[in-house]
């Protein structure tokens, strides 16, 4: 299914929407998400997956979803302009980031800024903002059971979602405060200049 800009009517109030914001590219973990989806929807058929992004894997991923009989659980939003991302994040109950290579993922920061809990593989910069038991679940790469358990835990615990989302928002507001960023940059310049002297 394709979702039009900001459209949320394809979801019911009882649905739990797992979001993923990433190009449809081999290292982004879409295959892992589809694999765990079969297990997740057996346990909780109200779980839905909203994929924001486009790429060369779209047809293959859609075919795999169709082969597994998961069409009613997945929605492809396609390529979304950056200023529309918040509309989609607003639809999501949590965001997963299963990328196996990336610096500090912008999708995680966007999710946390919106007060959404996150689930991410412990790769590169994800652990800087996805803090276990504080902002979300940090899972070892390829631990599909861990991903499934994290999604099901969040789907079944609204209070936990609220707490993790609230802590995540506080973290992002603090980290990306302009005064703090200027001070950090200033300290870095001083340190670098003292090394040259």
Q: Is residue 9 part of a domain?
A: no
Number of domains in the chain: 1
Query: What are the tens digits of pLDDT across the range 28-85?
Result: 999 999 999 999 999 999 999 999 999 999 999 999 999 999 999 999 999 999 999 9
Per-residue pLDDT at 186: 76
End-to-end CA distance of the chain: 61
List the chain residues with pLDDT less than 50.
2, 5-7
Its domain, for residue 44, covers 16-195
Per-residue pLDDT at 3: 52
Q: Is residue 11 part of a domain?
A: no
Per-residue pLDDT at 6: 47
Q: Is residue 2 part of a domain?
A: no
Per-residue pLDDT at 174: 86
Q: Is residue 8 part of a domain?
A: no
β-partners of residue 75 are 50
Q: Is residue 4 part of a domain?
A: no
- The radius of gyration computed from the CA coordinates of the chain, to the nearest angstrom, equals 18
Per-residue pLDDT at 139: 96
CB 99 within 8 A of CB 105: yes
78: domain CATH number?
3.40.50.2000
Q: How far apart are CA 51 and CA 88, in angstroms?
A: 9
Nearest to 116 by CA among 87, 134, 95, 96: 95
Q: Is residue 106 part of a domain?
A: yes
Per-residue pLDDT at 51: 97
Q: Is residue 173 part of a domain?
A: yes
Q: Is residue 1 part of a domain?
A: no
């Amino acid at each position: 299914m394709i979702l039009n800009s900001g459209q949320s009517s394809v979801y019911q109030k009882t649905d739990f929407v797992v979001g993923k914001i990433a190009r449809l590219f081999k290292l982004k973990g879409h295959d892992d998400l589809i694999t765990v989806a079969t297990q997740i929807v057996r346990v909780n058929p109200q779980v839905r997956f909203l994929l924001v992004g486009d790429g060369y894997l779209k047809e293959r991923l859609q075919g795999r979803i169709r082969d597994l009989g998961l069409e009613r659980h997945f929605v492809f939003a396609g390529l979304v302009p950056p200023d529309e991302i918040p509309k989609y994040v607003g639809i999501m109950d949590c965001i997963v980031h299963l990328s196996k290579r990336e610096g500090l993922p912008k999708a995680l920061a966007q999710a946390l800024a919106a007060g959404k809990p996150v689930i991410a593989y412990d790769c590169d910069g994800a652990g800087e903002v996805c803090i276990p038991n504080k902002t979300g679940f940090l899972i070892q790469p390829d631990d599909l059971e861990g991903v499934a358990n994290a999604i099901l835990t969040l789907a079944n615990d609204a209070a936990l979602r609220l707490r993790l989302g609230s802590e995540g928002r506080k973290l992002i507001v603090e980290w990306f405060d302009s005064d703090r960023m200027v001070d950090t940059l200033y300290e870095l310049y001083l340190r670098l200049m003292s090394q040259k002297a």
